[in-house]
Structure 1
Amino acid sequence: MASLRLWPRDQIEFAGALIVGCFAAVLLLTSQSGASVLTYVLTLFVLFRAAQWSDIAKTDLFIMIAALLFYLSVSVFWSSEWELRDFGSHFVRFLLVSAFIVAVAEVRLRGQIQRWLRRTLTIVGGGAICAALINHLVWPPADGRLNGLGQLDTHVIAALVYGIVAVLALQAVLREQGAFWRVSGIVTILVAAYAIWGSDSRNAWVSVVFGLAILLLAEKLADRQRFVASVLSVALLGGVMLVALFVMDGTRELLLPRGTSFRPEIWDQAMARILDGHLLFGLGINTPNDFDLEVTHVLHPHNLYLSVLYQGGLVGLLLFLGVLWKTIIELLRHYDDPDAKLALGILAAGLPAYLLDGHELLDKIGSTWFLIWLPVAIAVGLRWSRSLRET
């Protein structure tokens, strides 16, 4: 059996241990403040070592990320409700996310994502999913849908994060040589699949399957052009199938058993506020984004891209889309690297999922750190290694 060290030998491995601890906290701790403790430790550790990674701050991708996060944090000043301490709170979140990205980039540069981080997250994630399944079976909820533990107390978010664990486990199955790691990966995939099915979230079902399919294509297709063509084909075919299921009366209820969950009504109200003089710069990150509908009260827009537009306007949305585009280009540039393939699989699950859910891009550690910032951080690490080779 391949060895897995429990204690870090140096600063990079210590950063990796903190990253795993941060994710484990999200999976298991109910308090976001409690789950954030390790992110504060990680941030202080990264800032203390600034001289070791200052080259990252000179790369174009990291500059774009920093610009996006800082812009969202300063949007508090044109929010309808704000105090100076609100800016401090969002600025701290800017530092937390940035430090996490730097730490993952350093771990990737060392090659520890393949040798250590993926293995650890597969084991920790699989254990957390098993704990959630036991909790679900012993104390079944009234609606029968599986909730996660820790920060994953909603069906959809739990299923999406468990899907990312499944993506990590799938690459372990495909790449590990040791039987222990391959069997562990298979078990993790099976329990994750059962948990995702139990969530009854169609969004998670579709998004996670797409992410797994993209990772499988990336691992099996050596040619980048064939991979891109295959991804476009899968996306087009999947989109056509979903539209067909939606427009046919006999299958619409199968696809959306709870209807549209008021998404069109929510988005209409959000766009009405944005178009009321806030299209360019948004309403600000501190402006309330809840909505009163005829039959319910909704706490957020249930669309991450719309939320960024709501908070930061076209400026914020274009910065966000620019970061995603640059990330994908960097991952494709390093297509032969297994870390890039892993990040492509994670992004393939996260990007479509956030069309129907999500609302806080700049946040303390949570689902966006799994689905967005982890693959972005891997791309930053790849960009950093490329800049080091070019100097």
Structure 2
Amino acid sequence: MWRERIYKGYIDFWLPVALVLFLTGMFWVGERSLYHKLYYLTLALPTLVVVFFSGYHFRGVVREPLFLLFVMFALYVMVSLAWSPGSADYSKLKHPLYICMLLLAVAMLGESNMRRLVQLVGAAGVIAGLAALISIVIYFGDANRAPRLEGLGALYNPLLTSHVYGFFAALWLAALMSSSRLWGGKLVLFALLVLLLFLTGSRTPFMALIASVSWLLIMVADRRIVWLALAMGGIAGLGLWIFDSQLLARGLSYRPLIWAETWRQIIPAFWFGHGYDAGIDIVIEGLSRLLADPHNLTLGVIYQTGVIGGGMWLAIYLYSFVSAWRMRGSGLVLVSSTLLVYGFVAGMTEGGSFMSRPKEHWFLIWIPIALHLAVLRKASVGRESKVPAAVGA
């Protein structure tokens, strides 16, 4: 049947290539607008077409609790456009669709062939390590280099660059703990990524990596935690010895003042928020510029969608972490949940755009959620396949 051929070609050939292009595009696409188009044309649109013609293949994924939590949150966010101040930008209605296509695509690839999904994410991680090496070499080879490494390709800002490379650093950190296979290569890639993170001068990824290590210590109850603690202690000591003046000189960068002012502006629209399209202007004494985001993704959610939306947002993570704890013996769960922890904690000190077109923040939010959804869906399929055998017995 032609619908089956379309789906088969999509899962076996098109989607694997599109996913690698998406995960690595930031490193080699010259402009962010081209990165958007790359995602739309290679992943989002083909997935939408396949869902339209072969939607029955996705029935299991759309019934997963994590996916349903996302749909509820996304619908509420879109409804909040109705009470946004001024003339709402209804083009933003497309943003949840972009995210939904990513969740469906990754989950379906995991359900169909989890081994291939793991290999593709690993390949993207290798490319990230090579991109980090090239960036480091170019940075040190530039006599007029900036104080902080800014990034190559579509990456141009030290902090945003750290979001993407930090995701892959957390990936290899968790991979080291989930399996001893090829540990030497994993360690080298992790070290390269951490070195680049130090060169960006950003503190956010290190705070998130510390949280990731803490999560791994909780999840792993064997002697691997000793090696993890020793390795991370050595990396932290070396980094602070070499880069301490750069990392610590900026203090808290006005974060407590920014969060307090954001919360003050949340109060007038406490329950339902100011609306998804509502902007925020934050004035901090001592800063010479106006800030346009709360530097905290969760506060950004609450500002625009209120405590109700914030509760839905936190429910996504709560369910993800609880499900990860219940399946903590799985190496795949260890990796996907660590990426979730990394992204959630990194988002506590940066950003405000939680539902946007594909960009750096997706590596903190939606890509980890998509990978965790794929792992949970694969586990569900495994449980479903055992039911007939148990009944027959």
Q: Same fold (TM over 0.5)?
A: yes
Cα 1:191–1:71 shift into 2, 3 Å: same
Partner residue in 2 for 1:283: 274
The Cα RMSD (Å) is 3.1
TM-score with structure 2 length normalisation? Answer: 0.80
Tell me if structure 1 keeps the 8 A contact 2:175–2:335.
no
Cα 1:195–1:71 shift into 2, 3 Å: same
Partner residue in 2 for 1:194: 195
Cα 1:20–1:81 shift into 2, 3 Å: farther
Amino acid aligned to 1:81: G
**Equivalent residue in structure 2 for 1:131, among 130, 134, 139:** 134
Partner residue in 2 for 1:273: 265
Partner residue in 1 for 2:331: 338
**Structure 1: distance between partners of 2:132 and 2:154:** 13
**Structure 2: distance between partners of 1:91 and 1:133:** 39
**Structure 2: distance between partners of 1:172 and 1:387:** 22
**Equivalent residue in structure 2 for 1:347, among 335, 340, 348:** 340
TM-score with structure 1 length normalisation? Answer: 0.80
Deviations 1:188-230 (Å, cap 9, x if unpaired)?
A: 2121111111122222222224325544764x5369xx99xx9
Tell me if structure 1 keeps the 8 A contact 2:336–2:375.
no
Q: 1:242-257 maps to which residues of 2 (within 5 A)?
A: 256-257=248-249
Partner residue in 2 for 1:144: 147
Tell me if structure 1 keeps the 8 A contact 2:128–2:165.
yes
Cα 1:212–1:164 shift into 2, 3 Å: farther
Partner residue in 2 for 1:70: 75
Gaps (5+ residues) in structure 1?
Answer: 1-8, 239-251
**Once the two structures are aligned, what percentage of the paired residues are identical?**
24
**Equivalent residue in structure 2 for 1:323, among 316, 325, 334:** 316
Q: 1:153-164 maps to which residues of 2 (within 5 A)?
A: 153-164=156-167
Tell me if structure 1 keeps the 8 A contact 2:163–2:361.
no
Cα 1:101–1:222 shift into 2, 3 Å: farther
**Structure 1: distance between partners of 2:179 and 2:266:** 49
Q: 1:232-247 maps to which residues of 2 (within 5 A)?
A: none
Partner residue in 2 for 1:44: 45
Partner residue in 2 for 1:12: 11
Tell me if structure 2 keeps the 8 A contact 1:290–1:297.
yes
Cα 1:82–1:151 shift into 2, 3 Å: farther
Tell me if structure 2 keeps the 8 A contact 1:30–1:151.
yes
Count residues in correspondence: 353
Partner residue in 2 for 1:259: 251
**Structure 1: distance between partners of 2:212 and 2:282:** 31
Q: In structure 2, the residue corresponding to 1:288 is in which secondary structure?
A: coil
Cα 1:290–1:130 shift into 2, 3 Å: farther
**Structure 2: distance between partners of 1:30 and 1:307:** 29
Cα 1:204–1:376 shift into 2, 3 Å: same
Q: In structure 2, the residue corresponding to 1:301 is in which secondary structure?
A: coil
